[in-house]
Amino acid sequence: MAKESKHTSSSFLVAGGQVLSLGIRFVTNIALAWFLMPADFGVAAIVGTVLVGMSLFSDVGIRDSVIRHESGDSDSFNVSAQLLQVVRGVILYIVLLLLGPLLAGFYDVEILDECLMLAGLSLVFEGMISTRFYIFERNVDVMPGLVFDFVSQLAVTIVIVVLAYFYRSVWVLMFSYPIGTFVKLLISHYYANNFINPFKADVAYVKEIISFGKWILLSTLFSFVVIHADTLIIAKLVDISSVGIYQLAGTFAALMFGVAASLTEKIVYPAIAEASRGNVDDMSGELDKVLQGFMPVILAGTLFVFAVSPLFFHYLYREEYHQAGYLSQVLVIMFWLMTVYAILNRLAISFNHPHVAAKVSAVTAVARVTLGLLGFYLFGMNGFILGLTAGSLLGSFAMLRWLESSQNIHHTYLIKQTVPLVAIIIFYFAASYYFNNQLLFAWIAAVLICLGISVYLYQTYQHFIPVALDRIRTRKAEVAD
């Protein structure tokens, strides 16, 4: 019970921190939408996706190695990991400079080359982030990570909103990448307080990280295609302004996907990796304890995002952005399935089977791209999203099947949550078809869904409230003594 309470408490801390961070991002996007045009967001969407792709295409599992390796908290291991990470960051930036002109020509966006040159500095700064900071995640100590994310997000918000007010151009968005990563760099070394000494690097550790990382590289490469390739594909199929609207809709629809991804990285992956090192017998039970701590919040949050999307964009954005409200609702179910897939994918790595994650990611990537393109040419944007959703569903079932056959984990918890979510969304769209006043319908549906969410969360976590209050009283007593 104590361990379950620990995971649940950590889950609430991470979820709260992630929601706060994403909340700041949305407030920033709303403010920027009044100063910038959809085309500016479209260019930023391409740049952001390329930067993520560069990072993932060269991911040799440095962070994963620090978390899972038996010597991950030793100085020698961290110096080796740090040196490898710095070299990787510099090489990435050089490659990006070479790719810039090619990408600008491919998308017929002249300014893209210069944008990548500025935003790409974040890759160099990212390589200098202290690897010792990952030890906090290894020990499931979430507070430094929350500070890490919140302070960097707040710094970026202040700088780019002020810049947008005065300059109102796409360069405001480009500055956000190096600024945010540089702040993270400073915070990581403040906590870690370590110095890179290349002469203390252990060649054996470097080789071990790279050997483990070859499967991580394949897994993350295909994961990039699974999670981010839709932006690069749609940017070639539609005009740049439509890309910006699609990106804003996707950002809002992916709110809980971002929270779940953070929880998976900071809670699920370290906890299951720790359990694997300790030879826990009931891995299914351990997994259930971790997931049940936060997945109800993810489900409730997903329904909330779906319910308020039309109202959010109607009242807070200019008219040219209103279409994003409907697009966001269509994207919600896709991002829920992406959440399920991402969690299952990280479990394979937690169990030290990165090759399985790579193979399933490859299948999922091919399915999403193929079905997405087929859907677009048959039904346009809605068909594109439907195809992506079908590909995500295929990947989730493939990973569930492997967990059952190989790890003897008969896990249906995520499926049980998916069924009511899909049923509610289908009922919503069916009812909206017969309702004349769409704005009034959106208000009624949002109120009803929010009431249902409140009841669901209370019933789910009412047993945890006394435990949490008990821990607070105990800590207060300890401080008083």
pLDDT value for 223: 73
Answer yes or no: are the C-beta atoms of 316 and 30 closer than 8 Å: yes
Answer yes or no: are the C-beta atoms of 361 and 396 closer than 8 Å: no
Tokens of 150: 């919140």
Residue with tokens 């720790």: 274
What CA–CA distance (Å, rounded) separates 249 from 460? 30
What CA–CA distance (Å, rounded) separates 9 from 394? 32
pLDDT value for 27: 81
What CA–CA distance (Å, rounded) separates 32 from 40? 10
3-state helix, strand, coil in the chain (%, to 5): 85, 0, 15
Question: Measuring CA to CA, how many Å separate 63 from each of 84, 85, 177?
Answer: 11, 9, 20
3-state secondary structure labels for all residues of 391-406: HHHHHHHHHHHHHHHH
Answer yes or no: are the C-beta atoms of 187 and 148 closer than 8 Å: yes
The domain ranges of the chain are 2-480
- In 10 A of CB 211, how many CB atoms? 12
Q: Please tell me the pTM assigned to this model.
A: 0.78
Give, for 177, the enclosing helix (H) or strand (E).
helix 171-192
CA angle 202, 207, 213 (to 5 degrees): 125
Angle separating helix axes 229-237 and 203-227, nearest 10 degrees: 40
Low-confidence ranges of the chain (pLDDT < 50): 1-6
What pLDDT digit, counting tens, does each position of 210-224 carry?
776 666 676 677 777
What CA–CA distance (Å, rounded) separates 229 from 371? 13
CB neighbours of 133 closer than 8 A, spacing ≥ 6?
144, 148, 188, 191, 192
Question: Measuring CA to CA, how many Å separate 251 from each of 129, 191, 245?
Answer: 26, 30, 10
Question: Measuring CA to CA, how many Å separate 15 from each of 23, 54, 457?
Answer: 12, 27, 14
Query: How many residues are there in the chain?
Result: 481
Question: Measuring CA to CA, how many Å separate 24 from each of 29, 76, 188, 255?
Answer: 9, 38, 21, 12
DSSP code, position 348? H
Tokens of 113: 């080359």
